[in-house]
């Protein structure tokens, strides 16, 4: 009888752990991201202050900037099985995996491999309610999401990589960023998303003709003025 009680207790604890694990990972990025200055290829330190419109542009990398930039494979986000597009977004904390609740987002781009140096900053995102976000300020998550379709509002998030930003409440749109919590899978626990890396094309970077930038080179993204919002 005592053995049965112990078994029931173990099962109960296991179920409780599974039920709370998603809450512990809610609002957590699937992996760290690094903000890079698009003009200098310099890694940007958390706490750096930016204007709403970032003249030099900001791109995201999957790893810290190495001494030798090499072939930029360090900067590429890996392929994820089931993902057919990627989109940059800004959302209230906890809404990162709900596209219909995003505050700002960019155009979805079709993908069949990893994502190299996507551009993300508030003034760059052309859709949503930029004026309201800029006016109200507050804390948001900003990054990229892999989707299972190109129609953002109807798509499902397969993976999300983001950082936490704080927009000033004085209406200027100035903002800073901090490193967010990373969702780490643990044995027997559930997570907010099941990210399955696609072995096909893993480790490759879609960047035809791109060479490693030198210290004075730009990373050659589209000009901010063509996409920025007020």
Residue 63 pLDDT > 70: yes
Given the DSSP bridges, would you call strands 58-61 and 85-91 parallel, antiparallel or unpaired? unpaired
User: Tokens 């299972």 belong to which residue?
Assistant: 148
Q: What is the pLDDT of residues 205-216, one digit of tens each?
A: 333 223 333 334
**Largest CA-CA distance found in the chain, in angstroms, rounded:** 74
Q: What pLDDT does residue 131 have? A: 97
Q: What pLDDT does residue 223 have? A: 41
Q: What pLDDT does residue 165 have? A: 97
Q: How confident is the model at residue 112 (pLDDT cuts 50, 70, 90)?
A: confident
Q: What pLDDT does residue 183 have? A: 74
Residue 193 pLDDT > 50: no
Which one-letter DSSP state was computed for residue 103?
S
pTM for this prediction: 0.73
Q: What is the pLDDT of residues 126-168, one digit of tens each?
A: 999 999 999 999 999 999 999 999 889 889 999 999 999 999 9
Please, which contacts does 187-191 make with residues 24 or more away whose CB atoms are closer than 8 Å? Answer: 188/14, 188/17, 188/18, 189/17, 189/18, 189/21, 190/18, 190/21, 190/22, 191/21, 191/22, 191/25
Average pLDDT, the chain: 76
Range name among 48-57, 58-67, 137-146, 176-185 with the lowest pLDDT average: 176-185
CA angle, 217 then 226 then 44, to 5°: 45
Residue 38 pLDDT > 50: yes
Average pLDDT over residues 46-74: 93
Range name among 13-17, 68-72, 118-122, 179-183 with the lowest pLDDT average: 13-17
């Amino acid at each position: 009888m005592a053995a049965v009680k112990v078994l029931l207790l173990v099962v109960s604890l296991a179920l409780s752990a599974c039920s709370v694990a998603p809450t512990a990972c809610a609002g957590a990025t699937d992996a760290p991201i690094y903000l890079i200055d698009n003009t200098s290829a310099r890694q940007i330190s958390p706490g750096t202050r930016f204007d709403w419109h970032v003249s030099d542009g900001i791109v995201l990398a999957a790893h810290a900037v190495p001494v030798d930039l090499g072939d930029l494979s360090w900067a590429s986000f890996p392929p994820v099985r089931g993902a057919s597009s990627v989109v940059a977004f800004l959302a209230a904390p906890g809404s990162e995996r709900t596209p219909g609740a995003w505050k700002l987002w960019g155009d979805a781009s079709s993908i069949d491999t990893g994502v190299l140096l996507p551009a993300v900053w508030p003034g760059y995102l052309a859709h949503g309610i930029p004026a309201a976000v800029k006016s109200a300020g507050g804390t948001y998550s900003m990054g990229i999401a892999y989707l299972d379709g190109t129609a953002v509002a109807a798509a499902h998030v397969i993976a999300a990589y983001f950082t936490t930003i704080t927009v000033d409440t004085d209406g200027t749109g100035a903002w800073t960023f901090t490193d967010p919590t990373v969702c780490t899978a643990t044995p027997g626990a559930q997570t907010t998303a099941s990210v399955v890396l696609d072995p096909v094309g893993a480790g490759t970077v879609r960047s035809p003709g791109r060479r490693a930038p030198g210290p004075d080179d730009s990373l050659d993204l589209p000009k901010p003025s063509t996409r920025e919002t007020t």
